[in-house]
């Protein structure tokens, strides 16, 4: 199967315009499958059967992987074998009868507005690193962009005079506004932080690390953990928590769901609907606690 994988990855990038994160997930999942099949003496895509794949799904479950992870692996294998069938590399699709485990939909973890403010105020110093970190946190919460989009921003993507950024993902482009707090933090970083981090180097990226290179997802993940700990936030937050909080707080304050969908870059409004459901549940909770005849 391994010899077919590079062609499939090219197909995802060139024909399907899949995002980098999608391509990375498929690649990781399918390499894991490839290794499993090889260990069971199967190294030819035409020899893979539904029984092999069902056994693999059971193997993943026995490894203690979450239902969501197993389900994503099933989606990856289905995409690959569907592609192989369409390209006539195999006669029948062995994934047709493979069922993904049912995923219980859970509400995303979000910060309260007070926790969000505490987090954003942690990088309060004037060092180049703290100026950068404050600008990154403020912009992430102000726009709800994905971390990959945040660290991929280039200088021309930011319009400080008009308070908006341009994000590009999988060939799509969207314009997202931001507020005055994010603008002031960005101005301070650009005025007093970025050049000091670059140390005379050239870079088109808006945010750079202490070596003047592009920020990494892992680097940003570490700094948000540190600032959350400093802010006394007990929840195990990730960079995506700020994206969820951005959307949930907008909806709580009456933002139009369609506008939130566009800012988040969701292709299906059903994905955005979860934030409306969260808001409805919050209103119910307030009612139950406060109404005298509840």
Is there a domain that residue 100 lies in? no
pLDDT of residue 289: 53
Domain that holds residue 249: 113-288
* Domain assignment of residue 108, yes or no: no
Task: Determine, yes or no, domain membership for 103.
Answer: no
Residue 153 is part of a domain; what is its CATH number? 1.10.443.10
Reported pTM: 0.62
What is the domain-level CATH number for residue 47? 1.10.150.130
pLDDT value at residue 253: 77
Domain boundary among the residues 86, 105, 134 is at 86
Q: Residue 286 has what pLDDT? A: 40
Is 281's pLDDT higher than 70?
no
Q: According to the per-residue pLDDT averaged within each range, which of 9-18, 167-176, 208-217 is highest?
A: 208-217
pLDDT digits (tens, 9 = 90+) for 14-24: 888 887 888 88
DSSP result, the chain: -GGGHHHHHHHHHHTS---HHHHHHHHHHHHHHHHHHHHTT---GGG--HHHHHHHHHHHHHTT--HHHHHHHHHHHHHHHHHHHHTTSSSS-TTTT--PPPPPP-PPP---HHHHHHHHTS--S-SHHHHHHHHHHHHHHHH---HHHHHH-BGGGEEGGGTEEEEEETTEEEEEE--HHHHHHHHHHHHHTHHHHHTT----BSSB-TTSSBP-HHHHHHHHHHHHHHTT--S---HHHHHHHHHHHHHHTT--HHHHHHHHT-SSHHHHHHHHHHHHHHHHHHHHHH-TT-
| Poorest-pLDDT segment among 33-42, 99-108, 182-191, 251-260 | 99-108
Residue 185 has pLDDT above 80, yes or no: yes
131 pLDDT band, cuts 50/70/90, is very high
More confident residue, 108 or 187: 187
Residues 182 and 252 in one domain: yes
Residues 179, 244, single domain; the answer is: yes
């Amino acid at each position: 199967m391994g010899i077919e994988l590079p062609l499939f990855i090219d197909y995802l990038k060139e024909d399907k315009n899949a995002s980098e994160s999608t391509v990375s997930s498929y690649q990781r999942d399918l390499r894991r499958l490839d290794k499993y099949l090889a260990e069971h003496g199967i190294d030819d895509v035409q020899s893979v059967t539904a029984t092999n794949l069902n056994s693999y799904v059971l193997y993943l479950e026995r490894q203690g992987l979450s239902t969501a992870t197993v389900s994503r692996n099933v989606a990856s294998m289905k995409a690959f074998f569907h592609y192989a069938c369409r390209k006539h590399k195999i006669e029948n699709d062995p994934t047709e009868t493979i069922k993904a485990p049912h995923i219980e939909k859970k509400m995303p973890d979000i910060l309260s507005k007070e926790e969000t403010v505490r987090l954003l105020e942690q990088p309060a110093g004037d060092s180049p690193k703290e100026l950068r970190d404050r600008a990154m946190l403020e912009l992430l919460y102000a726009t709800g962009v994905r971390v990959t989009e945040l660290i991929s921003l280039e200088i021309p993507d930011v319009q400080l005079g008009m308070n908006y950024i341009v994000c590009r993902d999988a060939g799509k482009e969207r314009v997202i506004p931001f507020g005055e707090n994010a603008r002031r933090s960005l101005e301070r970083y650009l005025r007093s932080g970025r050049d000091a981090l670059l140390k005379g180097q050239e870079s088109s990226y808006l945010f750079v690390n202490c070596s003047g290179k592009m920020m990494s997802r892992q680097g940003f993940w570490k700094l948000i953990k540190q600032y959350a700990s400093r802010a006394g936030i007990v929840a195990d937050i990730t960079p995506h928590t700020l994206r969820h909080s951005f959307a949930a707080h907008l909806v709580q304050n009456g933002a139009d769901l369609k506008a939130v969908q566009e800012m988040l870059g969701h292709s299906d409004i059903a994905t955005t609907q979860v934030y409306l459901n969260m808001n409805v549940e919050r209103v119910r909770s307030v009612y139950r606690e406060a109404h005298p005849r509840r």
